Structure 1
Amino acid sequence: MNDNTPFHWLGEQIGRLLRLVVDGLAWVLTHIGSAFSSFYHGLGQALGISPTLTSLIVLLVGLALLLSGLRALFRGRIFAAAIAGIPGIAILSWLIQ
């Protein structure tokens, strides 16, 4: 088979271009994952929590409840603020010890 044809050259160039795109995407995704992991380990170390997915979910739930309580307080709904804010504070204090 003759490897000096224009179609062979074109196939090699397209293959190289695809390889470059795939390698670039792999590099970007690896660095994004590494950045997220470093961020979460730093966050966990600063808060004194273990860097696990469960801890992250509990932290997000506690923050959401606290935010909901603050929003209710700013709207003048004191009872609703207590209903959402007190469990949020309790969850965060339990988690952060």
Structure 2
Amino acid sequence: MDSENLFHWIGEKLGAAIRFIVDALSWLFDNLYGAIDSFVRGLTGALGINASIFSLLILVIGVAMLYAAVRALMRRAPVATVLWTVLGVIVLSWLIH
């Protein structure tokens, strides 16, 4: 009978540990999702765009084009700077109303 009680106790402790880990991860991912959701809603609300994957992808592409313009400016390439700036502004102005 003692071995049954021992294994029952081990099972309870193992189950409690697994439950704690699952609850902790659930809390972590829930708060992480809430933070990401708030960030995306704030960003899209400030820019006046929809909070869709497509809009966010176009936003990232436009910002990447402006980043390429800054890099071209640092390389002292005026034609590339103007080209990337115009493309980035066109993409972002198409997205932001």
TM-score of the alignment, normalized to the shorter chain, above 0.5: yes
Letter in 1 for 2:74: F
Query: What residue in structure 2 maps to residue 79 of structure 1?
Result: 79
Aligned-partner Cα distance in 2 for 1:47–1:60: 13
Structure 1 unaligned residues grouped into runs of 5+: none
Cα RMSD after superposing both structures = 1.7
Look up the SS of the partner of 2:49 in the other structure: coil
Query: What residue in structure 1 maps to residue 95 of structure 2?
Result: 95
Aligned-partner Cα distance in 2 for 1:27–1:55: 29
Alignment of structure 1 residues 1-97 onto 2, 5 Å: 5-97=5-97
Write out per-residue CA displacement over residues 31-51 of structure 1, whole angstroms, 9 at most, x where no aligned residue: 101110111011111111111
Aligned-partner Cα distance in 2 for 1:53–1:71: 27
Aligned-partner Cα distance in 1 for 2:71–2:34: 34
Structure 2 unaligned residues grouped into runs of 5+: none
Report the alpha carbon displacement of residue 23 of structure 1 after superposing the two structures with TM. 1.0
Aligned-partner Cα distance in 2 for 1:68–1:6: 65
Q: Which runs of 4+ in 1 moved over 3 A?
A: 1-4
Identity of aligned residues (%): 39
Count of matched residue pairs: 97
